[in-house]
Amino acid sequence: MQRHIFDCNQGCPVESTLQVISGKWKSVILYHLIKSKVCRFSELQKKMPNCSRRMLALQLNELEKDGIIVKKIYPVVPPKTEYSLTDFGKTLIPIVLEMEKWGEMYNFMHSKDSNRTAKSPQ
């Protein structure tokens, strides 16, 4: 899939960031790599059971092409592949951790709303 990369001198750098980290599973992959430091393909699959092997491979490939993660292949049978953040990818750690905090807050707020809705008389 062709992606449009904006000229940050003219466009919005937030949009450039979102283009790199958005994707159906990219932010989840980044989150797991931040928490685990290094993950094998099979580990990521277990942590993301709703993501198909093909989609996981595509998302990992895009993150690798963007210089966010590095793929290390060991010459063993069966093949062993590990993924980790590059130094450049590590610059996303504070961003993803803030997204985690915001998501927890959002989930908490909305769980309270849904509890009120469920308990409110009809």
State pLDDT tens for residues 41-60. 999 999 999 999 999 999 99
pLDDT of residue 122: 47
CATH, range 13-119: 1.10.10.10
Would you state the pLDDT for residue 101? 97
Q: Give residue 120's pLDDT band: very low, low, confident or very high (50, 70, 90).
A: very low
Which has the higher per-residue pLDDT, 115 or 40? 40
Residues 43, 22, 111: CA angle, nearest 5 degrees: 80
Mean pLDDT score of the chain? 89
pLDDT at 76: 94
Tens of pLDDT, residues 65-105? 999 999 999 999 988 999 999 999 999 999 999 999 999 99
More confident residue, 36 or 18: 36
* In the chain, domain spans: 13-119
- Whether the model clears a pTM of 0.75, i.e. scores above it, the answer is yes
